[in-house]
Chain A
């Protein structure tokens, strides 16, 4: 009887088409056959971002000079580079040569992944250490072993509007801190008199690089003496914070520094006549702001005791176990040649690490470059310790707390010293061998025991009238279950195991260094204030976001399902578009909406006579701002699910109700809502789980700040896993969150059951 509803012929045609398409696609996904052994030697080279494209020009030239070599360049986006490199090291799949940021060096040295290069350097007529900036070569050295060759350097200088400085009475950029402070006050004073908006200086308040420059200028040192309780010069630290805080307190610099596209525009309008940046900014200004020609230039850092700036850049490293080390070195050597370095500057605008290249006319005759050349003589790289990322995080956090006025500068300096000293402390001792074996078997037995108990205590399944043969059940279930076991259950058990170890960067490439430490990670978690803050933020986010999201999505689904709506498809896609719009574009727009000066929200507040707010830079407002944005971006998702579910409600029910005289609201409460029960359960569970794993918005918009007011549990976990490489600790964060979500779901399920009978 149902065959007239579902004509077999149609199904068969559809089936055939699907199968054909599927086979076709299957063929195209089979791994390509590997090429037969060629005589060429292939060098794998990983370069980051746009540099991965530009390096091709030089690689071609190298290939011409060395016909036996073939260089395979793979470009790795900056955003995923850390993750890519770590997995490559763990999976033993690292390339022959790789570009590596100077602050990443110690991490990969600690992983024991890099090839020592001492024996290849300082040979007769070859490359020598003296060719490079001394600070730069220090970034590649660990205990007298050289693990990399500086490729390009990068330092920070002041960019300033020379015309505005001149009208404030400064014909050249100040040489000292006090003069610089005076310049800023003069600029702001002139602005206030002319009733112009803006500040003197765009000062990022949670940027460890900026902080370190001034700290060094004040004569401060990190790790002045090895192995002591004092890991930084506390008085200088406090003095630096105090100095920077004056800029914020006296409104010479805003709490929300220029970002993205507004920095250049603000530089042009004079809103920010001064900022600190790197060499890439020169070409950005020349290309995008030609009208500014002659009105701006660069200047060396002012001094308190020194003129020091920050030194960054990239080294070239070779990985252990590469079969073509000699050829790889040849390429490194080639890239370090002064003429090639100057060409590379022209291609990429990266500053040559080889000092001889600076004699090249392209660098020597560029007037904006002089400040950089001068600054490079007094630029310092952060100390080479594997825990650097975590130390940097402490520095940024301390700077933020002090500049916000949350902690007095002196106290902040003491706290930073304590926190960094704790980070540097040695790892806990591992357990004995037998204990490890007992613990390891326990960890695999526990899930097993859990499973057995879990399945034995389940509610009995009532026997229905018909029985399905087990073969049928297997047919439907087995494919899904096999894939889930291999790619979900096993990884989950493995990461659960990891949460009981001290798996960190030392153990990444050498599993023998991974120790079983029992519940230490969980104990540490219990005492970790940032974890509790992140948990509070996550719960707050879910508590506010989930009901908002569900209400909005159900309301829009119901609206769009009404018969009177024309152009349904248009509205559906319209409301769904935030879901599919790239997060990057969404972030740009929302940062603009929230911009304290130009943003739409503050414009509205000003028009109705209220005082403007600091939105994303406000410790109270930042989280609600992110919630609002997340709901806006996400409600279309649930709306689509509701629309699909509304299609499943038989029309006949409404027709019958109408005949019985039920009005629209009665129809909604007695037909629509009950019929959407199962879907609503799904939506509620999924949305709650999703919001508890809140990550993308703070990751992109605020990075967890200001003052950790938007850090979420998953973001915190992610930072530990892929920024600090504490994979063990990261796993323990994940399982703590798991327990919380589980508890909430059980409660949710109970409530659901009590409200509506069984689900």
Chain B
């Protein structure tokens, strides 16, 4: 650790610097965590306490009332299962399809490649809200309404994902691929054995983003699904609101329920951010 510092700096001042640095990080952390902690603590406060007008962080008389109500109000396991299926399948599909396309755009030569890519980029500039109605009608004619296929397929390829992965893959040295080709490796082999492992951090990033996007999606599942038993968690939770009044405790308990799985996914993806194979392979 101390080898990082130029010679001449004593061990002690290095330690002091390190502590100061961590205190700074900790302060920033508190700023970013505040709403999250508030959401968490509110879900344990009785309603009267929530509406007391002061936003205290620690519940005075903690209660599990809202979580109990949540189980009564929502068909929790069905909605949770729907959300898991939707987000997980979409994430897997999106990683596969986007990384294949990104590989083609980054490392395979074919006519008009740059133009095709520019065309894809242009589509990102059209706000998604305008295409909602046409996509809905296409799904209707395809008979995919009220099904998970209809929910998943339209979002499984994203120009964002292709762009993100392509930018990363372009930096993978051409020499590695050339060497593999000389060794008789097929394009599929190169993709599977070289490109994918080297792109692990960015694929993990895409997976996290896709998962979060799907997990929090509200309007699309609501419109596509015609049965309540097909609702995902955010849609089911939105039903807890009245037109004018809000049960804050219940709402926050629901929000906690929505956020926790996302954190788990993020922590899983974290592991792929370690320097390892990527750094080793770059040496050549």
Contacts and interface: CB of A to CB of B under 8 A. Distances in A.
Interface residues of B, number: 146
Nearest to B52: A265
A223 B187 CA distance: 71
A482 B109 CA distance: 20
A90 B179 CA distance: 56
B108 A468 contact: yes
A53 B145 contact: no
B162 A480 contact: yes
Nearest to A585: B39
Interface in B114-159: 114-116, 118-127, 129-138, 140, 144-149, 152-154, 156-157, 159
Contact of B226 (A74, A260, A678): A74
A585 B41 CA distance: 12
B222 A652 contact: no
Contacts of B136: 87, 90-91
A280 B193 contact: no
A98 to B, nearest CB: 13
Range for the number of chain A residues in contact with chain B: 35 or more
Contacts, number: 401
A49 B239 contact: yes
Given A80-B218, A480-B97, A25 B137 contact: no
B263 A580 contact: yes
Contacts of B4: 563-564
> B171, B194, B218 — which one has the most chain A CB atoms within 10 A of its CB?
B171
B221 to A, nearest CB: 10
B208 to A, nearest CB: 7
Contacts of B134: 490-491, 494-495
Contacts of A735: 126
Given A83-B219, A87-B223, A458-B114, A487 B245 contact: no
Interface stretch (A111-119, A125-133, A679-687): A679-687
A289 interface: yes
A47 B113 CA distance: 50
A92 B144 CA distance: 14
Interface stretch (A298-306, A523-531, A571-579, A701-709): A571-579
Interface string B41-65: 0000001101111110000000000
B243 interface: yes
Contacts of B130: 492, 495, 498, 717, 721, 730-731, 734
A432 B166 CA distance: 49
B239 A265 contact: no
A644 B169 CA distance: 12
Given A93-B140, A682-B163, A492 B109 contact: no
Interface stretch (A176-184, A386-394, A470-478): A470-478
Interface stretch (A199-207, A605-613, A615-623, A635-643): A635-643
A124 to B, nearest CB: 36
A491 B138 contact: yes
Interface in A1-24: 1-3, 5-6, 8, 11, 15, 18, 21-22
Given A585-B35, A645-B202, A50 B241 contact: yes
Contacts of A287: 47-48
Contacts of A519: none
A652 B282 contact: yes
Contacts of B48: 287-290
Given A49-B243, A461-B112, A575-B32, A734 B126 contact: yes
Contacts of A8: 193
B249 to A, nearest CB: 10
A714 interface: yes
A678 B168 contact: yes
A532 interface: no
A475 B170 CA distance: 19
Contact of A80 (B89, B100, B223): B223
Interface stretch (A26-34, A230-238, A397-405): A26-34
Contact of B100 (A3, A29, A479): A479
B1 A564 contact: yes
Contacts of A75: 228, 239
Contacts of B216: 580, 582
A468 B38 CA distance: 56
A494 B162 CA distance: 24
Interface stretch (A59-67, A165-173, A212-220, A737-745): A737-745
A52 B239 contact: yes
B23 interface: no
A477 B157 CA distance: 11
Interface string A336-347: 000000000000
Contacts of A249: none
A376 interface: no
A559 to B, nearest CB: 7
Interface string B14-44: 0001100110010011011111101100000
Interface string A555-569: 010011001111001
Interface in A690-737: 692-693, 695, 714, 717-718, 721, 727, 730-731, 734-735, 737
A601 interface: no
Given A581-B39, A738-B126, A1 B131 contact: no
B243 to A, nearest CB: 5
Given A75-B239, A648-B168, A53 B73 contact: yes
> B33, B125, B242 — which one has the most chain A CB atoms within 10 A of its CB?
B125
A680 B148 CA distance: 35
Contact of A461 (B21, B111, B283): B111
A11 B282 contact: no
Contacts of A280: 242, 244-245
Nearest to A22: B92
Interface string B251-284: 1100100110011001100100111011111110
Interface string B215-236: 0101100110011100000010
Given A90-B136, A265-B53, A78 B243 contact: yes
A647 B262 CA distance: 22
The 10 closest A-B pairs by CB, nearest first: A265-B53, A650-B282, A77-B238, A491-B134, A458-B115, A29-B148, A491-B131, A480-B101, A31-B147, A644-B201
25 contacts: A25-B85, A28-B148, A90-B133, A90-B136, A261-B53, A468-B187, A484-B123, A484-B159, A487-B154, A492-B126, A494-B134, A495-B130, A563-B1, A564-B17, A565-B21, A569-B267, A571-B25, A580-B259, A582-B216, A588-B38, A589-B38, A590-B35, A644-B202, A650-B283, A652-B282
